[in-house]
Structure 1
Amino acid sequence: MKKLIVLLSLLFTIASGASFTEDLNTANDLYKQKKQKEAKEYYIKASKNNSAQAHFKLAYQYVVDKETAIYHYSKAAKLGHSKALFYTLEELFFRANDLLLSDPKKALEVYNIAKNNNSEITFYDEKDSIRILKMAAEVPLFRAEEFIKQYQLEKDEDFKNDGYYIWKLAEKASRGEIFKNSNPELVLQLIIKGAFVPAEVKSAVSDYYDIWKNNKELVEFDICNYVTSTYGMSLCAKRQEEAENNKIEKELSLLLKDINLNNSDLLYSAYKNTSKYLDTKVWYEEGHDGSGYAQWATSSLLNQKNEYIKFIRKIANGFVPIVKASLSENDKILNKRYKKIKERLKKTPVRGMRMSIMEKDFIKVQRSWIDYRDINVELYTSISKQKDKKFWENYITSQRIKDYNLLEDTINIFN
């Protein structure tokens, strides 16, 4: 009896293969001739006869909605198509990022059928990926349509425009905000639904799965503990900047009281011009590059702002820096170096993966520096025991020369 079933199965497979082969070949030929519309008709015919390749092509080669893509990838995967399985798992879980269509239970079901039909299917990090998928599939189904309707989420302007929108909902749920009866299960469901980057969701699901299993209390979920994508790093850099700027604003208020400065507008005007200059220098001159460029640039900016506040406090407490050479000497050096760097950037601009340093950028930074220099000469003279404005102009000029050293190093590295 067993042999008969295997034989019948084999005969059915051979017959199916024969029935779609001609249509699939015709479709491929038409597609190569750039007759996509005509080819699609034959791919559809072949897919109806269980052609895994036809199902895959319909999802991979044509612009279709997400639901249609999942349908064809799933069909192809169940028939043993290796690439289709990978894309099915991505669309249903690892990159789903969809309250309605994310479905780890279905993804696991497709995986098991695909492996049963083609035991040779494998993909990168399969063991760990399926371990996380099984965790996610264990979580009760999420009533997405009711949830969206109850909290009128579609009215949010970021509902379809923010890649981390669902994870932001998870953050709010973990803090007991907005949603009725927030609990670890809701947080984990939202983390699963908001899967955006595989490495991120693996780590987040693993962590919160343990909380869901072992803890009835809410534990705060923070996106920035998991992000690895450039977009995620930019988001977290912005958050960091906002938080640090709030701290700096408070520090400025305290500083104003401590240094006994009669003209409070001078301090705030100096900080405003300094912030503008530092921001321009960080983004247009320092050359932060790579996948984490936004985070590195933001960290540099915040560090320099904090150092500026500390420096004001130091000189108000009697510190006077040592400056080598006179103002006339340093000013000559500055002008000579400025012309040299400007000429170099004009001939050969610096271009990285995510940044560039152009002649116009350098000029923009320098103009911003002049405003920064002039206002801070006024501030330092007002709060320091050193009352010579030329001294402070010389000091700030000497610091700008140090910036030129770093900039030339960057230009040499890239060029």
Structure 2
Amino acid sequence: MNLDPSPSVASAVPASTRRWESISRVPRGPRAVIGAPIVAALFGRAVADVAIRVEYADGVVLGAAPETGPRMLLHRPRDFFARIAADGLIGFGEAYMAGDWSAPDLSAVLTVLAARIDTLIPAKLQKLRAVAVPRQPRSERGTRAGARTNIAHHYDLSNEFFGLFLDETMTYSSAIFDRLVPAPVWNDLVTAQRRKLDRLLDATGVTAGTRVLEIGTGWGELAIRAAQRGATVYSVTLSREQQLLARERVAAAGLTDRVTVALQDYRDVTGTYDAIISVEMIEAVGFRYLPTYLAALDHLLDDDGRVALQAITMPHARMLATRNTYTWVHKYIFPGGFLPSSELLSTLTAEHTDLSIVDRYSLGPHYAHTLRLWLQRFTASAGGADALGFDPTFRRMWRLYLAYSEAGFASGYLDVEQIVLARPESP
């Protein structure tokens, strides 16, 4: 398995995915110029009673946190407010990427803000979302072509890059720890990831002779563990990079005769399977294609089979309010992504399949700790990212993404669930 850094990796990333490189340009149009003072006033009012310390370069301090509280440092307030005036929350993220603001404990600041997400922006302004916030580009919808491009944008950055912060299992989804207090440490992560995978395999009854379909290969750890139980696995991915390394890992485990890793869209899979497992892939499907995805699970599942999904979810009301908006995460991290609510998944499953949800297990706090460990590892691996050709702006972008995600789960704004589906008459 080759995860040695290669200085040519970042330069090989397609230009269409290198959006972070133009971040130094500060918006100077009418919207930015006229809106910046308004945003500054609204920002000051919004953080006045929030438990963070906003420290301006000239010594002004806002916020309700004590001196020991989470600190947000505004290095270039004029640019910070201009970016937000021009591009809203996308501008907030871009300001961090550009270095207009920073935080000694980024996750702590974002956790406080995430917990107040529904009240930080005045209700009257929230009503303008439909006209003020950009909508998802048609090119990033989850069509066959769009899905391939979206997945490549994220996962084909390089296997070496993901190897900087993932553990030896190369598992890029929430782990399940045996305890959350005291807080898990890095050495707990490998066992916790395998515990998560084994729970999914147990939930679908995977054993010797089971025919398993995995939608979203990752880097092959679930397929390997299923095959080690004696199952045969057909695993599909749209990432060429993932396919190459997953095949290499399967071969190293001596399981090539039991595992097939195909570069294939879930809509093109044929046959039937005793167990279907998909770990945090549903978020890449997109709102309009969820019925298609769930119907595919239905027709690919044997009559007595089970489906296990691990899915990131968000509150239903918030999902309805934001499902058509284009966010910082869409622009820089996951184009085409969509987080469903538990209610939406239940409704669509009932409407478009013969399956029923027979078990749910929530593990949101476990994801907060998983992300915390990844962020610590990523921050400590700055030299490795630099050796791969990823510049400081890119590294700030990924720190923000990991911290933003950790904050979502730590605040309870996001959850992640293991959901088991089966036919009502199934044992």
Q: TM-score range by the shorter chain?
A: under 0.3
TM-score, structure 2 as length reference: 0.21
Q: Whose Rg is larger? A: 1
TM-score, structure 1 as length reference: 0.21
Q: Which has the higher helix share?
A: 1
